[in-house]
C-alpha cells in the first residue's frame, strides 16, 4: 500500500481510486484557452491536469487559471528551478520536476524548501530518454533497473532534504521495460506512482501500447494515477483512460458499449451506428452495458449479456432488452429510440 498524497482537492495513494491525468496542449500563458481546455477535460472525466511551465509568464498565468478551474493543476518544470518556485507561489497544486535537469543540489533544495513550506507535493519524474550516462554505462544501456535506480536516487536526494511528500513517475516508450520498472520500484518504495507509457504515439498505436502497459501494471495492484499519452486531442486520453480502468474493473459507472465486428450479414451501417451510440451515451450516468449488433440473425442472442441492445435489419431495427426483443422501429429512429430507453432506464 502506498502512502497518501493530497493534490489540491484530490487524494491519491493508500488504496484510493486511481485518478486520471492529462496535459493541456495550449500555451499556458493563454489563460482563457488553457482554462477552457481544462474545463472541457474535466467534463470528460479528467481528475488532475498538468500544464507546461516553460516561461515566467506561464508560471504567473497559473494564478488566473486556478480561479477558473475545479481540478488540481500540476506545473511541469524543466531545467529552471526559478519557474518551479514561481509556479508554487502562483498556486500550483503539485510540481513535476526531474531533479537531474534542475541543476545543483542548492537549486533543488531551493525548490524543496518552498514545497515544504507550502506542503505542495513534488512528482519526481524520470524518463528513459534522459537517463544519466553513468547508469546507462553501469547497466549497458537503458534498462528498467537503471530507471528505478535513477528515480530512487532522486527521491533519496529530496528525502535527505527533509521532505517526503512525493509522487514518482518512471516512464519509457518501451512498454515491457516500463512494466518491469514498475514491478521493481513497487517493492522498493511506498511513494504513490504515476503510471504512463511515454511518447506512446498516435491514437491507434498509443492506445494499444498504453492499454497493454497500463493493463499489465495496474492488474498487479501497482499505480495510483495514470495518463494515456496520445498524439492527438487530450480528450481522447481521458476516454481511453476511463475505458482501461473500467475494463480492469478498477472504475465503475458510465455506459459500456460493445459491438460486433462487421460481416457479410450486416444489413445496416454498423460502423457509423456504433460510433454514434458511443458518442451518444457519453453523458448518460448509467452503469450498464449496451450492445450494438449488425444483423437480426445473431443480434438478439449475442446481445443477451448486455442490459440493452440494438440490432439492424433492412430499413428497420430491433431494441433488445435482456436478450428479448422489446420493440421494432424504423432504422432512422433506432438511435433516438435507444436514447429514450436509456434516459428512462430507471422509471
Q: How far apart are CA 301 and CA 260, in angstroms?
A: 12
Element (H, E) at 76: strand 73-76
Collapse the DSSP code of 144 into the 3-class scheme (helix H, G, I; strand E, B; otherwise coil) and give the result: helix
Three-state SS string over 298-347 comes to CHHHHHHHCCEEEEECCCEEEEEECCEEEEEEEHHHHHHHHHHHHHCCCC
In a 3-state reduction of DSSP, which class is residue 148?
A: helix
Grid coordinates belonging to 233? 486531442
Q: Which SS3 state, helix, strand or coil, does residue 257 take?
A: strand
What does the alpha-carbon distance between residue 191 and residue 154 come to, in Å, rounded to a whole number? 13
Distance CA 171, CA 179 (A): 9
Tell whether residue 199 is among the known ligand binding residues.
no
Element spanning 23, H or E: strand 19-23
Asked if residue 302 belongs to a known ligand binding site, the reply is yes
Beta bridge partners of 96: 76, 123
The sign of the CA dihedral 64, 69, 72, 78 is negative
The answer to whether 51 is a known ligand-binding residue is: no
- Gyration radius (Cα) of the chain, Å: 23
Strand pairing category for 10-12 and 225-227: unpaired
Known binding-site residues equal 260, 263, 295, 302
Known binding-site residues for [4Fe-4S] cluster equal 260, 263, 295, 302
Amino acid at each position: 500500500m502506498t502512502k497518501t498524497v493530497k493534490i489540491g482537492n484530490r487524494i491519491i495513494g493508500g488504496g484510493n481510486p486511481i485518478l486520471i491525468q492529462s496535459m493541456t496542449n495550449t500555451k499556458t500563458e493563454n489563460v482563457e484557452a488553457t482554462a477552457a481546455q481544462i474545463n472541457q477535460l474535466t467534463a470528460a472525466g479528467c481528475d488532475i491536469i498538468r500544464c507546461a511551465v516553460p516561461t515566467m509568464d506561464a508560471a504567473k498565468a497559473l494564478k488566473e487559471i486556478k480561479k477558473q478551474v475545479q481540478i488540481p493543476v500540476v506545473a511541469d518544470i524543466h531545467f529552471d528551478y526559478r519557474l518551479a518556485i514561481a509556479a508554487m507561489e502562483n498556486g500550483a497544486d503539485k510540481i513535476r520536476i526531474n531533479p537531474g535537469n534542475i541543476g545543483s543540489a542548492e537549486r533543488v533544495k531551493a525548490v524543496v524548501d518552498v514545497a515544504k513550506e507550502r506542503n505542495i507535493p513534488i512528482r519526481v519524474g524520470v524518463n528513459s530518454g534522459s537517463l544519466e550516462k553513468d547508469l546507462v554505462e553501469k547497466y549497458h544501456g537503458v534498462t528498467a533497473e537503471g530507471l528505478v535506480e535513477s528515480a530512487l536516487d532522486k527521491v533519496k536526494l529530496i528525502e535527505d532534504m527533509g521532505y517526503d511528500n512525493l509522487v514518482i513517475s518512471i516512464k519509457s516508450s518501451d512498454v515491457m521495460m516500463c512494466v518491469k520498472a514498475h514491478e521493481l520500484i513497487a517493492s522498493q518504495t511506498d511513494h504513490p506512482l504515476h503510471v504512463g507509457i511515454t511518447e506512446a504515439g498516435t491514437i491507434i498505436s498509443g492506445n494499444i501500447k498504453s492499454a497493454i502497459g497500463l493493463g499489465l501494471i495496474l492488474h498487479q495492484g501497482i499505480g495510483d494515477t495514470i495518463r494515456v499519452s496520445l498524439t492527438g486531442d487530450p480528450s481522447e486520453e481521458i476516454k481511453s483512460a476511463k475505458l482501461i480502468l473500467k475494463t480492469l474493473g478498477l472504475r465503475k459507472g458510465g455506459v459500456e458499449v460493445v459491438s460486433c465486428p462487421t460481416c457479410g450479414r450486416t444489413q445496416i451501417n454498423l460502423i457509423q451506428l456504433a460510433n454514434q451510440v458511443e458518442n451518444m451515451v457519453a453523458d448518460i450516468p448509467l452503469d450498464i452495458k449496451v450492445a450494438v449488433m449488425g444483423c437480426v440473425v445473431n443480434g438478439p442472442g449475442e446481445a443477451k449479456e448486455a442490459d440493452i441492445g440494438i440490432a439492424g435489419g433492412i430499413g428497420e431495427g430491433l431494441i433488445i432488452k435482456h436478450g428479448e426483443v422489446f420493440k421494432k422501429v424504423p432504422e432512422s429512429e433506432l438511435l433516438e429510440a435507444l436514447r429514450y430507453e436509456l434516459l428512462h432506464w430507471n422509471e
